[in-house]
């Protein structure tokens, strides 16, 4: 299967199921078997996936992409041994980052839910100007992409995490603020927008937010 078809949903599903690391091995740039050059799509996904992992507090080095041709058996062994050693040094996902299991589960669930939106942002806003490995690496490391990611993704991710919290039970502004480490004013801002979009409702009697 072409690496370009390895959807980010597969990656985050693997992490949600307890994988401590995920590695993708694909054809070298310029040697793709398909006219679409899917390995560049995989490279873009790797950068986006790492940014999203970093945003939720998971070490982005747990997700890796390597170019390995079918004939490079020795390189495959070396890369895998290196990756296993790296992941061993990082420790189990969550515990290695100091994140409690229930919090990690919620964060990964929130990240999974915004992946369709992330794809839309990539298609509309994150067009790489030069289709080369260097071009992709420099583009996704740029301040402009970081700004766009923070501007367009951060709030969506926070709201997604709040909605995951509300799946458990209705919560007040203060309870959401305490659970996520947000200021009450930020929680109110997110909930006002979410209420207008019909994503949440406010229970006056309980003075808490709940899912519709």
How many CA within 13 A on the CB side of residue 152? 18
Dihedral sign for Cα 12, 154, 40, 67, please.
negative
Does residue 185 contact residue 175 with C-beta atoms inside 8 Å?
no
Does residue 59 contact residue 90 with C-beta atoms inside 8 Å?
yes
Give the domain ranges of the chain: 3-161, 169-212
Which of 14, 45, 55, 62 lies closest to 121, judged by CA? Answer: 45
The encoded tokens of residue 109 equal: 């669930």
Three-state DSSP at 203 gives strand
E strand spans, the chain:
22-26, 63-67, 201-203, 208-210
Whether pTM > 0.75 for this model: the answer is yes
pLDDT at 110: 95
User: What DSSP designation does 27 have?
Assistant: P
For residue range 185-200, list pLDDT tens digits in order. 999 999 999 999 999 9
Does residue 155 contact residue 114 with C-beta atoms inside 8 Å?
no
CATH 1.10.150.530 describes domain 169-212: no
pLDDT at 88: 96
**Mean pLDDT of the region 156-185:** 94
Is residue 205 very low, low, confident or very high in pLDDT (cuts 50, 70, 90)?
A: confident
Rg (CA), the chain: 19
Average pLDDT, rounded, for the chain: 93
For residue range 13-70, list pLDDT tens digits in order. 999 999 999 999 988 988 877 767 888 999 999 999 999 999 999 999 999 999 998 8
The encoded tokens of residue 157 equal: 């991710």
The encoded tokens of residue 187 equal: 């929680």
The residues, any chain, with a CB within 8 Å of residue 136's CB and separated by 6 or more, are: 40, 43, 44, 47, 128, 130
pLDDT at 31: 81
């Amino acid at each position: 299967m072409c690496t370009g078809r390895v959807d980010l949903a597969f990656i985050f599903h693997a992490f949600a199921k307890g994988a401590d690391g995920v590695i993708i091995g694909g054809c070298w740039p310029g040697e793709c078997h398909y006219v679409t050059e899917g390995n560049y799509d995989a490279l873009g996904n790797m950068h986006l996936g790492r940014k999203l992992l970093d945003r939720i507090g998971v070490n982005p080095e747990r997700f890796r992409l390597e170019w390995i041709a079918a004939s490079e058996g020795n390189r495959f062994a070396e890369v895998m041994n290196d990756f296993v050693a790296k992941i061993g040094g990082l420790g189990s996902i969550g515990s290695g980052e100091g994140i409690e299991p229930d919090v990690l589960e919620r964060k990964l669930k929130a990240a999974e839910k915004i992946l369709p939106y992330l794809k839309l942002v990539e298609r509309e806003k994150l067009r790489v100007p030069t289709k080369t490995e260097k071009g992709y690496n420099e583009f996704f490391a740029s301040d402009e992409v970081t700004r766009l990611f923070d501007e367009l993704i951060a709030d969506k991710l926070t709201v997604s995490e709040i909605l995951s919290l509300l799946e458990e039970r209705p919560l007040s502004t203060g309870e959401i603020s305490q659970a996520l480490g947000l200021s009450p004013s930020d929680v109110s801002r997110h909930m006002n927008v979410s209420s207008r979009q019909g994503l949440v409702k406010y229970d006056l009697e309980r003075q808490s937010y709940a899912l519709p």
